[in-house]
Amino acid sequence: MAFTETFPLITDPYFYMVTVPAVLLLGVSKSGFGAGFGSLAVPMMALAVSVPQAAAILMPVLLVMDILGMAAFRKDFDLKLLRFLIPWGLVGIGVGTLLFKLLNAQVVAGLVGGFTLVFLAQRVLFPPKVDSPAPPRWMGAVLTATSGFTSFIAHAGGPPINAYVIPMRLSPVRFTATMAFFFFVINLSKWIPYAWLGLLDWRNMATSLVLLPIAPLGVWVGVRLARRISQVLFYRFLYAGMLLTGLKLLWDAWH
């Protein structure tokens, strides 16, 4: 019996041409380096498969990446910040579950892309001062719930949560560690809703298993960079990733 008959994975070469770079990019972003780039993974994969299928295929890959990220930064996270972020992120997951079949993926892409570019424009035109106060908690609640929602729809939770956490000016390692633990909880909470929506079929899971060996490579590269890069350069890469993400998501929404 052929392997593809036992495990009905995707065999289209074009799928892997766009997916392997996407998984590597996601791994690097999971380590915190260039975190904005991670939201490009699903749009890149959507060149070959539908957005819901791309999101489903990435689920096991994300789980492995989250565990590796937490192991690498297990002593550096901000527990107080996580206690605030996680409940609101789960609220967004609940909203995403209820609205998943009603919303067009292009609409979500456009909203996330537009918001990302507005945030960047605000940061460039009105850069915060050293003594600027942190964003208000009500804004954090809205942005974190939005992050959970967009993460559920298309694994694009980075831009909204970045808009809240970046102004806090955490060190690269603390920022990376906190995001690793936050998205571990968020991604873990998606499994039951994804199964309920019928997205975790054998074809998607078999394809995900083929992609799993790529996950540690991306995370390893990103961890090494995050621990060696200066804070100024770190945030420049972060902004560059968010710029490209916003433009790509708007392009997907327009077309």
pLDDT digits (tens, 9 = 90+) for 123-156: 677 665 656 677 789 999 999 999 999 888 878 7
pLDDT at 2: 47
CB atoms < 10 A from the CB of 70, how many?
16
On whether the CB atoms of residues 24 and 217 are closer than 8 A, the answer is yes
Share the mean pLDDT of the chain: 80
Work out how many domains the chain is built from and give that number: 1
Burial class (CB in 10 A: 0-12, 13-18, 19+), 133: exposed
Lowest mean pLDDT among 27-36, 68-77, 104-113, 214-223: 27-36
Inter-residue contact 94 to 190 (CB < 8 Å): no
Q: Give the residue numbers spanning the domain of 165.
A: 3-254
- Whole-model pTM: value is 0.74
Amino acid at 94: G
pLDDT of residue 3: 46
pLDDT in tens, 149-206: 988 887 878 778 888 888 888 887 888 888 889 999 999 999 999 989 888 888 888 8
Q: What is the pLDDT of residue 148?
A: 93
